[in-house]
């Protein structure tokens, strides 16, 4: 797992709480005997599901397995909605840094000579025109392109039909670059559609894919062997390459039963009704769905991640300027990280996301 990228994913340094809650927020916590990430999250964030935020912010200390927690480890707990209070090394509560206004570029003759980037909404906290800055990754891409400063300029376009992005809009170079997209392991899955047809930028974000299981009858997941014979629900149309990668082959060899419901909410209700053993979606979608469906007390995420998936900018291999455009994106990302702006953008958006779920 990439400690460099993911260690910054939830490096909660910006603040969205209010001064009435505490004079300082966040800080350093020393692991005690009997602690687990869920126990620490419940104690300090009043929400056991927040263990994922603690794990992500401390990957360099804990490692990939949440079970590797040891007495005496020093963990960084970020400030989320004014919690936790009173820890050593806490930061003073302050006003949040505002995201820039999202710029929605119309498709006009004037934009044709620019580098045109494509995204869509309804993908919190990453992309949505209603989010500050258009979402976490819209702001990252916008900042990276501003940093790269292409001579011809650039524009970000919103087409709220994800199904049309790869094919036909990007595959036919009707627009140049699209984001954010998962990348299969092309070294071992070279025959997949995305690997055959698209180039990928450096990863912008490493996201955990989790199992969400019934609190009353939890599904263990200490190793892949625990999943054999289980019924997993993933929404229809979502990727499944992590369920069938080399060394796993759960689908090809029919080791699990995959149920594909119409929506994430439908998957979570199947878990609640005992009709499947777990739902499997990304951390943020899962957390948001639990709140929206009123299932927070019924369903909990399993602490061991099912997979880790990078989010990238993509461009068609048939695009005549493909490598040069990706070079600009990657150069802009490197500059943002070197200056510390990447971490600031990521932390600010994720703190806001978690605070809204409290």
Whole-model pTM: value is 0.72
Per-residue pLDDT reduced to its tens digit, 132-167: 999 999 999 999 999 999 999 999 999 999 989 999
Q: For the domain 207-308, what is the CATH superfamily, name and number?
A: Periplasmic binding protein-like II (3.40.190.10)
Other Cβ atoms less than 10 A from the Cβ of 196: the count is 11
User: Residue 20, class by beta-carbon neighbours within 10 Å (0-12 exposed, 13-18 middle, 19+ buried)?
Assistant: exposed
Q: Which fold has domain 109-205+310-339?
A: D-Maltodextrin-Binding Protein; domain 2 (3.40.190)
Nearest alpha carbon to residue 233 among 168, 281, 197: 281
Q: In CATH, which of 1.10.238, 1.20.120, 3.30.160, 3.10.350 is domain 3-92?
A: 3.10.350
Write the CA distances from 223 to 135, 226, 342, integer angstroms.
Answer: 34, 6, 33
Nearest alpha carbon to residue 267 among 292, 245, 249, 242: 292
Residues of the chain with CATH 3.40.190.10: 109-205+310-339, 207-308
Name the 3-class secondary structure at 356. helix
Per-residue pLDDT reduced to its tens digit, 58-105: 777 887 777 789 999 999 887 777 788 889 988 776 544 566 666 555
Residues of the chain with CATH 3.10.350: 3-92
Question: Is the model more confident about 160 or about 21?
Answer: 160
């Amino acid at each position: 797992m990439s400690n460099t990228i993911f260690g910054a994913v939830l490096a909660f340094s910006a603040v969205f709480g209010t001064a009435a809650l505490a004079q300082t927020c966040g800080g350093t916590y020393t692991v005690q005997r009997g602690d687990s990430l869920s126990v620490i999250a419940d104690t300090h964030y009043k929400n056991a599901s927040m263990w994922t935020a603690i794990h992500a912010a401390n990957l360099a200390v804990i490692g990939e397995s949440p079970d590797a927690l040891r007495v005496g480890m020093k963990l960084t707990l970020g400030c989320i909605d004014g919690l936790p209070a009173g820890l050593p090394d806490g930061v003073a509560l302050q006003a949040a840094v505002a995201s820039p206004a999202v710029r929605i570029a119309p498709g006009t003759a004037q934009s044709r000579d620019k580098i045109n980037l494509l995204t869509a909404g309804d993908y919190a906290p990453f992309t949505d025109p209603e989010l500050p800055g258009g979402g976490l990754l819209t702001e990252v891409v916008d900042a990276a392109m501003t940093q790269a400063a292409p001579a011809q300029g650039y524009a970000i376009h919103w087409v709220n039909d994800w199904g049309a992005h790869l094919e036909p809009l990007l595959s036919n170079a009707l627009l140049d670059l699209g984001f954010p997209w998962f990348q299969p392991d092309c070294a071992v899955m070279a025959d997949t559609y995305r690997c055959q047809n698209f180039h990928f930028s450096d990863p912008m974000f490493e996201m955990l894919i989790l199992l969400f299981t019934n609190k009353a009858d939890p599904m263990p997941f200490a190793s892949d062997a625990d999943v054999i014979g289980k019924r997993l629900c993933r929404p229809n149309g979502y990727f499944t390459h992590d369920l069938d990668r080399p060394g796993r082959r759960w689908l090809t060899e029919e080791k699990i039963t995959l149920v594909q419901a119409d929506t994430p909410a439908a998957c979570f209700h199947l878990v609640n009704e005992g009709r499947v053993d777990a739902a499997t979606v990304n951390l943020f979608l899962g957390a948001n769905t639990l709140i929206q469906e009123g299932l927070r007390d019924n369903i909990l995420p399993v602490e061991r991640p099912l997979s880790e998936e990078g989010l990238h900018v993509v461009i068609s291999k048939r695009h005549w300027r493909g490598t040069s455009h990706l070079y600009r994106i990657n150069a802009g990302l490197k500059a943002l990280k070197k200056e510390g702006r990447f971490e600031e953008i990521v932390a600010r958006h994720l703190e806001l996301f978690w605070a809204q779920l409290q």
